[in-house]
Amino acid sequence: MVSLKKIEKAKNLAKILTDKKNFSLIKFTNIPHQKLETLRKKLKEKQARFTVIKNALFEKAVESLTSLNEKFSQIKEKFFPLKENSALLTFDGDWSEALSSFYKFAQEEKTLFFKFGFLDGVLYSDKELIKISQLPSKSQLLAKVVGALKSPSFRLYYAFKFPAFRLVTVISELSKKKGGEKNG
């Protein structure tokens, strides 16, 4: 007989999956509790949450949502049945920074791996998530674009300013020489 607690947990998990537009399922093995808490703290700073879940409950939650959204049908077809320990990584803010932060931590720890992810309405495999997490964040890209746009304008400004400055310097030197010749 199915316990009411498990049914309630599956419903709560289904609500999280529908509320959060971006999430990733993570595989983990033998990670010390202290490391896990360090990861959670880093992710919290990036507006993300790392929650250990039971595969069966995740499968039930996704199963209940397949009729509501095609993305859950895709998850069911491609990745079920789930194996190995799983955790749900959900993103509240900019997922690119949190995903990058998780990937850097996983590179150091070697016990955390992507299973799949759902970002901005697109389902990604583990290999695709690794590539995405290595990209610069949105804020870094915007800074580069602004810098690139700003740089040519400054170069143009100084390109116009430099000849005029040289001309003023030459005229000033000539006037000093001619003033010196008249006095002498």
Whether 43 and 77 map to the same domain: the answer is yes
How large is the average pLDDT for residues 136-143?
78
Across the range 92-120, mean pLDDT stands at 88
| Cis peptide bond prior to 163, omega within 30° of 0 | no
Residues of the chain with pLDDT > 90, as a percent, come to 16
Is the domain of 58 the same as that of 102?
Answer: yes
pLDDT tens column, 30-72: 888 899 899 899 989 989 999 889 988 889 888 888 887 788 8
Number of domains into which the chain is organized:
2
* Enclosing domain of residue 126: 4-135
Spatial contact of 42 and 105, defined as CB atoms under 8 Å apart: yes
Q: How confident is the model at residue 181 (pLDDT cuts 50, 70, 90)?
A: low
Q: How far apart, in Å, are the Cα atoms of 121 and each of 20, 69, 70?
A: 11, 11, 10
Domain check: are 113 and 170 in the same one?
A: no
Residue 27 confidence (pLDDT): 93
Distance CA 154, CA 148 (A): 10
